[in-house]
Structure 1
């Protein structure tokens, strides 16, 4: 891996065995389109193949971790209108390809040998919450909000992220989250055991880095093997 590489959509920082990837679209609340997801997946593949990296931290720049799908993909530009039939067509195409795009990146992230830490600095919506579910450890700032709006957009929320959400929240709360598109605050998820820690905003990255340094001091092979056995309970077979 080029350990100094950044891209149009992400910042990459390396500190010895710790790599930090930062969503870098703050003006769009770090929302996702196809190019952003593919860019993220490429970076994750590079991390996977980097023998120097033992711990990956993922965070977002600005006030959101990742605000989900970029509505520009299926909405008209500002000041313009879009025919209802065309909007339905775009939404239909979105519903077909979106779960697989998210699922593929989720799968790579969830199955990295490196230990992963999500430093969730704000909104984690749709695909953003999906990625947060794939981390080995998740630390969020006070007041961060999590929800999946897919069903309200006539798009199914499915695949590995939905299964893991059900495992983390239990079936009844998962149905509230997915079918009712219910919003959860970080403090609620912490009480449910669906986050490791909730901290004040200025403590987020110091907490994530402190945890990363503790993990990086341990045996890479022992960490990876132990992680695989734990993941087998929650993730089962690779789905994508």
Structure 2
């Protein structure tokens, strides 16, 4: 699917699809062309029933600086509305994917880049990554989660601080405020992503999809409503739900060996 000089690279390797934003000379900032490519790419992942893990990353030791500010001078008065709607559609597709999503963050992760990470299931970041919501200094407001999802993840106090001041912060602070699952050195980023992917792929695919669905749908509901999603509407057949693995000691032991001490070294 990749084309020469493409600003977005899509690599499918078995059940794993990697999407790479490929404008490193501008910190992978999203112009209209790249945002259209990204929208098409995540739609393709949504329709790919074999995809179990989607990895989102940036080329050139940087993740994403959000909107391409330089392009704003070419916009018509109506473009900000339509562009925001396109971005919102894209991140909603990512959030709703049945595949488990991993953001691999290095370097700049600001504005729309940070907003992209908010809809991923896991975020692994390097210790040199820089985070922030600097839109206020460009006299614009976040368009796809920086004021809505960010407060739900990190809390209202930090969301107001980051949006109203616009200061950048490091990966350690991002991890403290639940924006990041794991911080590593730049040279270990690929290994960390591969290790997490291995663990996810060891799970039963239907059980993984159902668990992700329950987590997402129940997140903003009262407990009583969220609990309803935990009740199966029909019995799970062993071959579909992984229940048969309870009698398969070798499978169960292999899964637990991968999982039980994962990320417990901190």
> Structure 2 length normalisation: TM-score?
0.76
1:22-73 alpha-carbon deviations (Å, 9 max, x no partner): 1111122111011211110111111111122100111111121011111221
Aligned equivalents of 1:95, 1:13: Cα separation in 2: 30
Query: In structure 2, what is the equivalent of residue 72 of structure 1?
Result: 70
Please name the residue that 2:171 is paired with: 186
1:142 maps onto 2:127 in alignment: yes
Contact 1:167 1:234 in 2 (8 A): no
Task: Quote the RMSD (CA, aligned, Å).
Answer: 1.9
Runs ≥4 in structure 1, deviation > 3 angstroms?
A: 90-95, 158-161, 233-236
1:220 matches 2:205? yes
Q: What SS class does the counterpart of residue 113 from structure 1 fall into?
A: coil
Which residue is equivalent to 1:117?
102
CA shift for structure 1 position 92: 5.2
Question: Across the two proteins, how many residue pairs are aligned to each other?
Answer: 219
1:38 aligned residue (26, 36, 46): 36
Distance of 2:66 and 2:54 partners within structure 1: 21
Which of the pair has the greater relative contact order for Cα pairs under 8 Å at 6+ separation? 1
- Higher-Rg structure is 2
Alignment of 1:16-27 (within 5 A): 16-27=14-25
Quote the residue 2:188 is aligned against: 203
- The residue that corresponds to 2:2 in the other structure is 6
When normalised by structure 1's length, the TM-score is 0.84
Unaligned stretches of 5+ residues in structure 2: 222-266
What SS does the aligned partner of 1:118 have? strand
Structure 1 residue runs without a partner (length 5+): 76-86
